[in-house]
Structure 1
Amino acid sequence: MKIIELPIEFEFNGQENTIYPSLIILNNELTLVDTGYPNFLRLIENEIIHNGYEMKNLKNIIITHYDDDHIGSLSDFKEKYPWINIIASEMESKSISGEMKSERLVQAEEILENMPLDQIEFGKWFIKQLKNLKYVSIDKKVHDGDMILDNKCKVVATPGHTSGHISLYFPSLKSVITGDAAVHENHELVIANPHFCLDVERAEQSLRKLKNMKAETYYCYHGGPKRKYGR
């Protein structure tokens, strides 16, 4: 088993950005963690193929949480590769499948009411972006402590950024896939965008939880991997 990061470069608001979905390779089967913004399917496909893997071997997609940059292309993946198993926490699955209104949309609508005039246009765009996300049913709902992927991966509840956020711990690799529970900035692990955290105090607790694992590699969706001993 191994984990590789998939650097996906794109332009947003005139700035160059990169996100780092993770690809887990186990027994010649692939598991993708998070799917980027809408219309990122081709970008992620190209990166997987560039690394020497075939899309026909993609078996699972794990979603760490409901945010447009993490689930944006989920419906496209499911439509193109209908055999894929979609895995998420039980709490996040309610938003992803449309069973309940997402926390992020509720937050965005509340923030819009008090936004400065110069930011209202962006706020409206963001709400539209969230409302345009297609619902996808979840095949496997997981909980804190569950062992998945042939018992090689432990689900770790890391609430704060969203209530049902999960990270993934791989004991044999001494590695963690953090989602947005931790981002890599200035050689440190920090919480992601505190302004949009639904509960900053819980986010800080989750970050401490991940740091206390003392993993050798933290695969961060934003900022890329943080390695204890370098590459």
Structure 2
Amino acid sequence: MEILELPIEFEFNGQKNLIYPSLIITNNDLTLVDTGYANFLPLIENEIKKSGYEIKNLKNIIITHYDDEHIGSLYDFKTEFPWINIIASEIESKYISGMLKAERLVQAEALLDKLPIEEVEFGKWFIRQLKNLKHISVDEKVQDGSKILDGKCTIVATPGHTSGHISLYFPSIKTVITGDAAVNENDKLVIANPHFCLNIGKAEESLDKIKNLDVKTFYCYHGGKLSL
């Protein structure tokens, strides 16, 4: 088994940005962790090809949580490659499928009237982004301790950033894919966007939880790979 990070470079507000979806390779079957913003399918497909693999071997997509930069292209992937098995937590699947209104949208709408006037337009844009995300059903719903990918991956519930956030633990290679439970900031693991955490106390507990696992390498969606 091997894990690769897929550096996806894009421009946002005139600045260069990077995110790092992860690609898990098991017996030539591919599993993608998170899908970037809307319309990122071609960017991710290109990185998969550059890594020497073919998109036709993509068997699973794991969604760590419902945020627009993590699920933006999920609908496109499932439409283009309908055989893909979509995996997410029981909690997040309710938002991904549209069964419940997404926590992030509820939060954004509640904060809009409290924003400084210079941030109101961005707040409205962000709400539109969330409302424009297309819902899709989740094929495989997991919870804390679930084993997936032939038992090679253990689901770790890491709530805080969102209530149903999950991280992925691979004991045999001492590796965690963190989602937004942690970001790599100057070679340190820290909480992602603490001001937007739905529960900062739980986010701190989740960060401690993955730090205390037997781990040598963390794959962070924001900030990239961190090896201890």
> TM-score by structure 1 length?
0.98
Q: Which aligned pairs between 1:68-217 and structure 2 lie closer than 5 A? A: 68-217=68-217
Consecutive unaligned residues of structure 1, counting only runs of 5 or more, are none
Q: Name the counterpart of 1:14.
A: 14
Quick one: distance in 2 between partners of 1:60 and 1:41? 14
Which stretches of structure 1, 4 residues or more, deviate above 2 A after TM superposition?
A: none
Distance in 1 of aligned mates of 2:152 and 2:22: 15
For normalisation by structure 2, the TM-score amounts to 0.99
Distance in 2 (CA, whole Å) between partners of 1:90 and 1:211 is 24
Once residues 117 and 145 of structure 2 are traced to their aligned partners in structure 1, the CA distance between those partners, rounded to angstroms, is: 45
Q: What letter corresponds to residue 102 of structure 1 in structure 2?
A: A
CA shift, 1:87, in A, is: 0.2
What does residue range 38-77 of structure 1 map to in structure 2 within 5 Å? 38-77=38-77
CA contact (8 A) 2:171 2:214 kept: no
The SS at the match of 1:154 is strand
Deviation at 1:214, TM superposition (A): 3.9
- Percent identity over the alignment is 72
Determine the C-alpha separation between the residues in 2 that align with 1:19 and 1:187: 16
Q: Alpha-carbon deviation of 1:27?
A: 1.1
**For the residues of structure 2 that align with 1:2 and 1:171, how far apart are their CA atoms?**
13
> What is the number of equivalent residue pairs in this alignment?
228
Which residue in 2 is equivalent to 1:35?
35
1:3-58: per-residue Cα shift (whole Å, max 9, x none)? Answer: 00000000001110000000000011000000000010000000000000011100
Task: Give me the CA root mean square deviation.
Answer: 0.5
SS state at 2:189 partner = strand
